[in-house]
Amino acid sequence: MARQSYDGIVAALPVTIPYERYSTHAAHWWLGRALGALVRQSGLPKDAVDGVCVSSFTLAPDTAVGLMQHLGMSPRWLDHIPTGGASGVVGLRRAARAVQAGDAGVVACISGDANHVDSFRNTVSQFSRFAQDGVYPYGAGGPNASFALLTAHYMRTYGATREDFGKLCVAQRDNALRYPHALMKKPLTLQQYMEARVITDPIHLFDCVMPCAGAEGFLVMEETRAKDLGLPYARILGTIERHNAWHEDPIQTRGGWTMDVDELYAQAGATPADIDFMQAYDDYPVINFMQIEDLGLCAKGEAPDYVRRNTFTVDGTLPFNTSGGQLSVGQAGAAGGYLGTVEALRQLSNTAGKTQVADARIGLVSGFGMINYDRGLCTAAAILGSAK
C-alpha cells in the first residue's frame, strides 16, 4: 500500500529558545518556554493546543505526562519521543498523522534539555543498558569513542580525509556566523580545524559538538488554520523513519534511510536534484557523509568527492545546515534533533533572516539518533515544501 500523503497538513511557527552553554534551569523550564513561545506567537488560546509531543533527555523523573501537569495542559493527544537526534522528524510525522486523523487539532512539538555542569557525564554513563554494559566501561569516552571507531572505519573504507570533514565543518561555521543563536561566534579556518587537538583519534576538537541547554518547537495543524492565523509554515511532502536497520552489519557504514529513501522521494514527488537545501544531523561529520550518501545526493562511498565538489554555505551549492548545525550552534540534548527541522521551517517560510537561502522551495531534513552500543539506531528524514 502506498504511503498516504500529508496534503493539507503543515508545520508552522518555528521557535528557538536561545541556547546557553550551561544553565541552572531544569528541562521543564526550557520546554515550558518553548510551549509559551508557541502559544504567545500563534495567538491561539493555550487550550487550543490539544496535542503535545515532547522530546527530552533530562526531564527525569518526569515524562511528558508529568510535564503536562507542570505546564497546566490538558491535551487529548500526547506523545513522548525518545529517538534523540531523529526526534524532530519523528515528532513531525506522528503529529501530522494525528491532526490528519482528527485526533488533535493543533499539536505543539517541543524539545529541550537542561545542561548543568555535570549533566553530560551523567547522561552518557546512563544512556542505555548496552552503553552501561558494553561501552561505558571501555574508557568512558562517550559518543566520541563510538564515533571515532565509525569515522576511522569510514575513512579507511571510502578514502575520506580529515580535510573533507573539515571543509564541511568550516562551511557550517560560516553559516553559523549568520545565525544569531549559534554559540560559536568566531570564524573557523581549515587550518584551525586541522591543527585542533585530538580527542579520540581520528576525532579532533572541531569534530565534536558542544553540549548546551536550549529548546526548539513548532506547531502542526491544518494548512487552512495556519493561513487564517497568519503563521509562517511549510508543507510536509514526504517522511520516513527506521530503527535498528542493518543490524547484522559488523560495523555501521550505512543508516536506515537506505531502506526507505526511494519511498521518501516517491511520496514527495521529488528527486535529489530538486533539493534546495539540506539540514542533516551533524553530531559528527562522518554522519553528515552517511546522510548525504544514504539520502541519494550521491552514491555510497562518494560523499568525499561530493564534498569536494560543493560549497555548502547559505549562498553556495547545496546549502547545508544553514544555521550552523549542532557543530556550531551547540547540542541542546534532544533539541539537537529539532534544530534542522526548525531551521528548515524558517527557510521554507522565508523567515530565516540572514541565513535565508534564496528561493528555497524544497528542503531535506534528516535525523539520526541514539548511539546505543556500537552504532546509531534511529534514522528519519522528511522532505518539506514552501507554501504554494
Partner 1 sequence: MTQALRNPPKKDPVARSRQPTRPPGIRSRSALGLTAAAAEGRFELQQCAECGTVQYPPREVCVHCLAEHLPWKPVSPLGKLLVSTTLHHSNDLYFRERLPWRVGTVRMQAGPSVVAHVHGDLADGDDVRLALKLDRSGQAVMLALPTKNTPHMEDDKILRETACDPKFRRALVTDGKSAVGMAVTQALLDAGAAEVFLGDPQLWRKEPAFEKLAADPRIKVVPLDVTDTDSLERAAGEYGGKVEILVNTADMEREGGLLHAKDVNTARNLLDINVLGMMRLAHAFGPAMCARAADGTRNAVAWVNVLSIYAQMNLPARAVWSATKAAALSLAQGLRAEMRPSGVRVLNVFPGPLDHEWEQLTPPPRVAPKAVAQAIVGALKDGLEEVYVGDVAKEFRDRLAENPKGLERELGA
Q: Which residue number, 135 or 314, has a Cβ lying nearer to partner 1? A: 135
Other C-beta atoms closer than 10 Å to the C-beta of 278 total 24
DSSP assignment, residue 25? S
At closest approach, how far in Å is the CB of 124 from partner 1?
6
- Which residues lie closer than 8 Å to 106 by C-beta, 6 or more apart? 42, 44, 48, 49, 50, 51, 99, 219, 220, 221, 225
Nearest to 96 by CA among 338, 388, 382, 387: 382
Q: How far is the CB of 146 from partner 1 (least distance, A)?
A: 8
Smaller CB separation from partner 1, 186 or 197: 197
Residue 235's CB: how many other CB atoms inside 10 A? 21
Measured from the CB of residue 213, what is the shortest distance to partner 1 in angstroms? Answer: 18
- Binding residues for partner 1, per CB under 8 A? 120-121, 124-125, 129-130, 132-142, 144-146, 148-149, 152-153, 156, 197-203, 250-251, 373-374
Whichever of 190 and 196 has its CB closer to partner 1, that residue is 196
Give the residue ranges of DSSP H helices in the chain.
Answer: 27-42, 64-71, 87-101, 119-125, 129-134, 143-158, 162-176, 190-195, 223-229, 257-268, 285-294, 303-309, 325-329, 336-348
**Among 314, 315, 332, which Cα is nearest to 323's?**
314
Least distance between partner 1 and beta carbon 131 (Å): 9
- In the beta sheet, which residues pair with residue 221? 10
CB 324, min distance to partner 1, A:
23
Residue where the block lists cell 506547531: 219
Residue 241 Cβ vs partner 1, minimum distance, rounded to whole Å: 21
Q: Which residues of 115-131 are buried (b: 16+ CB within 10 A; e: fewer)?
A: beeebbeebbeebeeeb
DSSP 44-69: --GGG--EEEEE-SS-TT--HHHHHH
Cβ proximity to partner 1: between 84 and 232 the closer is: 84
CB of 110 to partner 1, least distance (A): 28
Which CB sits closer to partner 1, 132 or 189?
A: 132
For residues 18 and 139, which CB has a smaller minimum distance to partner 1 in the complex? 139
- Nearest to partner 1 of 251, 266 (CB atom): 251
The full DSSP string for 334-372 is GGHHHHHHHHHHHHHTT--GGGPPTT--EEEEEEEEEE-
Nearest to partner 1 of 22, 373 (CB atom): 373
**Least CB distance to partner 1 at residue 126 (A):** 8
